[in-house]
Copies of this chain bind each other. A is one copy, B any other.
């Protein structure tokens, strides 16, 4: 295992209180489930607490000092997060999670499709029968079901790129058409670890005038991402997967698109003028943030970005890739283990899913859990992808900056132990 320059993992681990605990009768916790949710460093917990103990108030509503300070903290967090992803602050909308972000776009589109009372600027978001939304077969349910429902509401058709045996997008499987209105896909698969060919998919979408939504849940927390450079129209990610709080996520939207898009959730703080008969809406990002927002959580996410910046997102990425290399090599060497996803580390990030011949994923997971190794088992909210590979469930190990080579070794040993326990050792 190569040591990554500039990263002292033990020092990092000391920032994460939960990593010192034990599970299942005294075993040290080996947390390999950051793809589901990451842990939080002290710095993030402290930032949120300091906000709540000193500055908490309703933002964008009050004129007293606390309200000013709270608004400041909230908007500074937005600016910091925007800079982190190569966006303008006005292009960052806070949502409760990435799922809400995708639903926001899908509902704004069906709202646009009901033209009563709307201006011409929302026309580009309108859909109807014959129009198409294109995704891929590897998507997380969050980037699949909202589009199915949008199609149900508008009469549009859902189509998808299929996935090759190597776990890559089969770019020849379908062709976009003039009727393709949205192309939505994951930046990195939460199961296979595959990094999708963003530039090529954007090029194809642009060629037919379709909007592009990038599900960046598994990329923004783990590698440098510049959304402006990637030239996507929308992107989403969640705070809880990037060392930040739960209850906060981000929808990125190009300024020009957010300005033209009708609202989704409506209520306080997103209005311009309200009468019983009719309401007009404020400019983005406020237009998309109805109600009292997840204030302290946004502040916490800002602190998470600062924490990541202090380490360096490229350092984190290099560290994780080294762990993936070790995991893929280690697991592939265990007889009967089949890795689902690319073994080649080109365009591949940190999620390693696998099956063990003769031992169900749940049972592998249980044996690992009894040894203190926390992984995820099941379909990982990507059921169609599992069906594609002919498996009901896989075991998935996923990493973040705090994981160590020793932990990966514990994973590989645990898988061997599971095979022994269930008597499938050859």
Query: Which residues of B sit under 8 angstroms from A274, Cβ to Cβ?
Result: 141, 144-145, 383-384
How far is it, in angstroms, between the C-alpha of A17 and the C-alpha of B53 when the chains are bound? 5
Majority-rule SS of A interface residues: mixed
Interface string of A386-412 (1 = CB under 8 A from B): 010000000000000000000000000
**Chain B's nearest CB lies how many Å from the CB of A337?**
19
Given A56-B18, A141-B274, A276-B144 in contact, is the A99-B267 Cβ separation under 8 Å? yes
Query: Which residues of B sit under 8 angstroms from A148, Cβ to Cβ?
Result: 266, 278-279
**Chain B's nearest CB lies how many Å from the CB of A126?**
13
Chain B: CB-nearest residue to A162? B276
Q: Which of B24, B53, B278 contacts A45 (CB 8 A)?
A: B53
How far is it, in angstroms, between the C-alpha of A28 and the C-alpha of B254 when the chains are bound? 44
Q: Which chain A residues numbered 4 to 49 have a C-beta less than 8 Å away from chain B?
A: 17-18, 21, 23-24, 29, 31, 33, 36-37, 39-40, 45, 49
Chain B: CB-nearest residue to A386? B274
**Chain B's nearest CB lies how many Å from the CB of A388?**
9
How far is it, in angstroms, between the C-alpha of A415 and the C-alpha of B373 when the chains are bound? 62
Interface string of A325-367 (1 = CB under 8 A from B): 0000000000000000000000000000000000000100110
Given A18-B52, A246-B296 in contact, is the A36-B62 Cβ separation under 8 Å? yes
Q: Which of B39, B100, B387 contacts A265 (CB 8 A)?
A: B100
Beta-carbon contact of A33 and B18 below 8 Å:
no
How far is it, in angstroms, between the C-alpha of A240 and the C-alpha of B297 when the chains are bound? 12
Query: Which residues of B sit under 8 angstroms from A263, Cβ to Cβ?
Result: 149
Beta-carbon contact of A18 and B267 below 8 Å:
no
Stretch from A197-205, A222-230, A287-295 that touches the partner: A287-295
How far is it, in angstroms, between the C-alpha of A347 and the C-alpha of B362 when the chains are bound? 56
Beta-carbon contact of B103 and A265 below 8 Å:
yes
Chain B: CB-nearest residue to A140? B268
* Number of copies of this kind of chain in the complex: 2
How far is it, in angstroms, between the C-alpha of A97 and the C-alpha of B269 when the chains are bound? 13
Given A66-B31, A96-B294, A384-B276 in contact, is the A267-B145 Cβ separation under 8 Å? yes
Given A114-B153, A142-B267, A267-B145 in contact, is the A290-B376 Cβ separation under 8 Å? no
Interface string of A121-157 (1 = CB under 8 A from B): 0000000000000000100111111101100110100
How far is it, in angstroms, between the C-alpha of A376 and the C-alpha of B66 when the chains are bound? 11
A117 within 8 A of B: yes
A158 within 8 A of B: yes
How far is it, in angstroms, between the C-alpha of A267 and the C-alpha of B105 when the chains are bound? 13
Chain B: CB-nearest residue to A62? B376
Kindly state the interface size class of chain A when it binds its partner.
35 or more
Beta-carbon contact of B61 and A36 below 8 Å:
yes
A378 within 8 A of B: yes
How far is it, in angstroms, between the C-alpha of A107 and the C-alpha of B247 when the chains are bound? 21
Interface string of A58-72 (1 = CB under 8 A from B): 100111111100000
Query: Which residues of B sit under 8 angstroms from A245, Cβ to Cβ?
Result: 247, 296
Chain B: CB-nearest residue to A147? B266
Beta-carbon contact of B24 and A36 below 8 Å:
no
Given A265-B103, A294-B246 in contact, is the A52-B58 Cβ separation under 8 Å? no
Beta-carbon contact of A293 and B152 below 8 Å:
no
Q: Which of B98, B116, B266 contacts A103 (CB 8 A)?
A: B266
Chain B: CB-nearest residue to A238? B292
How far is it, in angstroms, between the C-alpha of A130 and the C-alpha of B359 when the chains are bound? 60
A375 within 8 A of B: yes
* With A99-B291, A145-B274, A149-B263 already in contact, 19 other A-B pairs whose C-beta atoms are closer than 8 Å: A17-B52, A29-B66, A36-B57, A45-B49, A49-B49, A61-B378, A62-B376, A63-B362, A63-B369, A63-B377, A97-B293, A114-B153, A137-B276, A141-B266, A141-B279, A142-B267, A142-B290, A238-B292, A240-B295
A to B CB contacts below 8 Å, 9 in the list: A45-B53, A63-B362, A96-B291, A103-B267, A111-B153, A116-B152, A141-B271, A247-B248, A276-B384
